[in-house]
Amino acid sequence: MASSDLYLNKIDFLKYLDNTDCTQCGVTSCQEFILALKQGFRKPRDCPFLNENKVYAFEVALNISNSLPEVPLLVHPRPSTVGIVELNGPNPDSLVLITGNNEYTEEILMAVLGTTICPFYIIFVDTDGNTVDMAMVYKTLTAERIYRSLKNTSINEKSDRKELIIPGFASPIREEIEIWTGWKVLTGPICAAELPLFLSEIWFPHNE
């Protein structure tokens, strides 16, 4: 059975390094260091500029493929949860993540978020069961639908931060979302597995 592209090859590991090419890791450049990480010849902590949180984030992003479900190449939408999920006891200052209500999207995102104790609000917008990439094509992930989801979940009453993180594929509608919602909108990565790196400052492991 053909598998869907989870966009793991879109993770931009290099932008999370300092890119000084200092060679203290034992290779000649940061680019070569990333290649060595992927091949298993180096470990994230071999870079002297990575703090413990970022080391952990690198480890998660590099190894998360072993924990992700196998996703078949979808022909039809697979609708799942619509609404809000509160993960790890979020508070009024916690981040709010936006995604679509595709069954496999939910499984993948929860597998990634399961690697941290960081609290989140997750809002599953009704995209008619489409994955985020397809929802952008079919226009089932829109600023209006996100606005309605915020209203229906009463997240305005739960969050003082008023800051959304949208998937990278939704970047073309970022400004429109801000206009509709009045919230600040940050564009996250295309691949959910990059979230630990994108949010490395708060991506605390379970043993912390």
pLDDT of 207 over the 80 cut? no
Q: Are 101 and 82 in contact (CB under 8 A)?
A: yes
Query: Rounded to an integer, what distance in angstroms lies between the CA atom of residue 199 and that of residue 178?
Result: 21
What is the reported pLDDT for 104? 93
Q: What domains appear along the chain, each with residue ranges and CATH number?
A: 8-66 (1.10.15.40), 83-198 (3.40.50.11600)
Query: Rounded to an integer, what distance in angstroms lies between the CA atom of residue 165 and that of residue 188?
Result: 6
Q: Which residue has the higher pLDDT, 34 or 206?
A: 34
pLDDT in tens, 105-159: 999 999 999 999 999 999 999 999 999 999 999 999 999 999 999 999 999 999 9
What is the reported pLDDT for 6? 85
Q: How far is CA 4 from CA 110, 159, 168, in A?
A: 18, 34, 17
User: What number is the average pLDDT over the span 91-114?
Assistant: 96
pTM of the model: 0.93
pLDDT in tens, 56-81: 999 999 999 888 888 877 668 999 99
What is the reported pLDDT for 189? 97
Residue 18, judged by CB atoms within 10 A of its CB (0-12, 13-18, 19+), counts as exposed
Query: Rounded to an integer, what distance in angstroms lies between the CA atom of residue 162 and that of residue 158?
Result: 9
Tokens of 95: 């981040």
What is the reported pLDDT for 5? 79
